[in-house]
Chains A and B, each alone.
Chain A
Amino acid sequence: MIASLSLILLCQLAGEALVRGIGVPVPGPVIGLMLLLLLLLLRDRFAVLARGPLRGESGESGGVESTSRGLLAHLSLLFVPAGVGVVQKLDLIVDHGAAFLGVLAISVLVTLVVTVATFIVASRLMTREEERP
């Protein structure tokens, strides 16, 4: 588990270093995500990599897969400290009141509907395209 956690941190660290080095407007952990994905894909291709935290599901538990699942099982918990910060800043919301909350709520609903509708329509058009002889 320690080795797996180190691998995850290493990917994040490399991501942060890349982001700072090149100055791209992407969060470091997102680059870290891509690096870890790349490693997992490379492991399937080159057996040499399939050791330690990358040894795969067939090995004992504690590989990077089970450690990641453990981290993600309680993703909600990780937002609590930032959320408490918001409760402390309620005066900022009170200043602008209902308009602030209303605008956010409507925008969230509109975004959800537009995104899901676009996804469904695009996905149906694609399958229809494939079914055509």
Chain B
Amino acid sequence: MSGDPFSLWVYLSQSPLLWLTVTLLVYAVADAISIETHRHPLANPVLHSMWIIGAFLKLTNTSYTTYFGGAQFVHFLLGPATVALAVPLYENRKVVASAILPMLVALAAGSVTAVASVVLLAEAVGLPREVVLSMAPKSVTAGVAMGISESLHADPSLTAVAVILTGIMGAITVTPLMNRMGIMDYRARGFAVGIAAHGIGTARAFQVDAVAGVFAGIAMSLNALVTSLLVPLAVTLLLR
């Protein structure tokens, strides 16, 4: 290589190293800003990392496939991180065990509301049927939601978009909403954001309070279970 900066770029831009570094670096900056602003809801590190990296890919004309070659190492850790939720759950088992009943009632109410509200609203504003079906599982974690979407013959990639946007919206709105409602019970706050906004909401809950994080993690896991059974049923009942 003769030190030609273009050929160096061509080489690096195809390597996983560059995109893994970009992902970690942008996140590190976004997270530092989030800490600096005392975890202000609008300084959400996921939201800002994703548009900054997205814009950078657009500017450099890099495909998502190339980017994912590097980012997959981070993405892979989602599974192990879900398993790791067992540890805070174990450490807070007494708090959790004493709240089993409120959790089950709130799970039933929350999962039904999450599915029914999106299907009914989307129908009311006249979105096409395929879009409505793709939006139905938006409150569960992306992998599960895309599976549900596929089984409904909807569009899994549109579902993924709805899932991520839902997560971001939930993570941003939960703190101001709960403060305005005067709810200081972190079990309830965490559980609600886990039901409404899956993993991104759970990540937010862990930033605010450890107990909130535990309850969000439980809510997210239980909701994945309930929603995969509920969506096919709701779709037959609500969309005729």
Binding site for B on A (CB under 8 A): 5, 8-9, 11-12, 15, 25-30, 32-37, 40-41, 64-65, 67-69, 71-89, 92-93, 96, 99-116, 118-120, 122-123, 126
Contacts and interface: CB of A to CB of B under 8 A. Distances in A.
A108 to B, nearest CB: 5
A109 B160 CA distance: 19
Contact of B161 (A81, A89, A107): A89
A103 B50 contact: no
A33 B89 contact: yes
Contact of A65 (B87, B178, B195, B228): B87
A89 to B, nearest CB: 5
A112 B177 contact: yes
B202 A81 contact: no
Contacts of B23: 77, 80-81
Given A27-B144, A84-B50, A99-B127, A78 B81 contact: yes
B83 A33 contact: yes
A30 B169 contact: no
Given A27-B224, A119-B102, A71 B80 contact: yes
Given A27-B141, A68-B87, A111-B113, A82 B164 contact: yes
Interface in B191-208: 191-193, 195-197, 199-200, 202-204, 206-207
Contacts of B147: 25
Interface string B146-170: 0100000000011011101111111
A122 B193 CA distance: 17
Contacts of A28: 79
B83 A29 contact: yes
A75 B206 contact: yes
Contact of A79 (B55, B82, B185, B199): B199
Contacts, number: 298
Given A27-B224, A33-B221, A122-B101, A105 B169 contact: yes
B173 interface: yes
What does DSSP make chain B's interface, helix, strand, loop or mixed? helix
Q: Most chain-A CB neighbours within 10 Å: which of B57, B86, B193? A: B86
Contacts of A74: 27, 31
B211 interface: no
Contact of B173 (A27, A32, A65, A112): A112
A105 B135 CA distance: 12
> B81, B88, B228 — which one has the most chain A CB atoms within 10 A of its CB?
B81
Nearest to A99: B125
Given A36-B83, A78-B77, A120-B185, A83 B164 contact: yes
B145 to A, nearest CB: 10
A115 B85 contact: no
A25 B140 CA distance: 13
Nearest to B85: A33
Nearest to A129: B101
Given A87-B54, A88-B57, A82 B83 contact: no
Contact of B192 (A12, A34, A67, A112): A112
